[in-house]
Amino acid sequence: MFKRVKTPCVGVCSTTICGDVCRGCKRFSHEVIDWNTYTNEQRYLIASRLEGFLAQVVKHKLAVVDVDKLLKAIKYQQIQFNSDQNPYCWVFDLLRAGSSQIDDLSTYGLRRQSGWEQQSLTEIQEAIDADFYTLSSAHYDRYVKPEINHMASIKETAL
């Protein structure tokens, strides 16, 4: 049995009329709408997908070199994070809480990846968010949208 999964909503809902992915939490529009009807197992699958995408994107820009240092610093700064998630997700929570206030990444057990040394942490945070959205959108377009279109065509054929 899975631990109860909380909503990944970050309070920045922005699914447009034709939008397929929320710009805030990166869930698909039907997942946002149907969240309260899902079983905990269904919620876990969605949360796992989002965690994997976010960790992948963060790992491309920043490296966690000391997880214990990161955890200690995040707790000391009283940053809200999910300790059950991949530490790379904690990094995103840290950046969202105050990327402009971080002077020394090594204090948090982090370092910039090659190619990201010259960008500010605010720029890195924005790039992570944009790439996370792009990855979620690409997944939707590749795997979900064709299935939805297929199901719609089956309904039309049946009528």
Give pLDDT, residue 144.
80
HSE, CB side, 13 Å, CA atoms: give it for residue 117.
2
DSSP notation for the chain:
-PPPPPP---S-----TT-SB-TTT--BHHHHHHGGGS-HHHHHHHHHHHHHHHHHHHHHHEEES-HHHHHHHHHHTT----TTS-HHHHHHHHHHHHGGG---GGGGTEEEPTT-SSS-HHHHHHHHHHHHHHHHHHHIIIIIHHHHHHHHHHHHHH-
Which residues, including other chains, have CB under 8 Å from residue 42's CB and lie 6 or more apart? Answer: none
**Contact present, 45 and 35 (Cβ < 8 Å):** no
Burial class (CB in 10 A: 0-12, 13-18, 19+), 16: exposed
Give pLDDT, residue 115.
96
Give pLDDT, residue 4.
76
Give pLDDT, residue 20.
86
Give pLDDT, residue 152.
56
Give pLDDT, residue 93.
95
**Which two structure tokens, joined as six digits, stand for 130?**
């944009």
**Which two structure tokens, joined as six digits, stand for 96?**
């969202």
Q: What are the CA-CA distances from residue 127 to residues 62, 106, 116, 145 (Å)?
A: 11, 20, 10, 25
* pLDDT values of the chain reduced to their tens digit, one per residue, 159 residues: 557 777 777 666 665 555 789 988 999 988 988 999 999 999 999 999 999 999 999 999 999 999 999 999 999 999 999 999 999 999 999 999 999 999 999 999 999 999 999 999 999 999 999 999 999 999 999 888 766 655 555 555 555
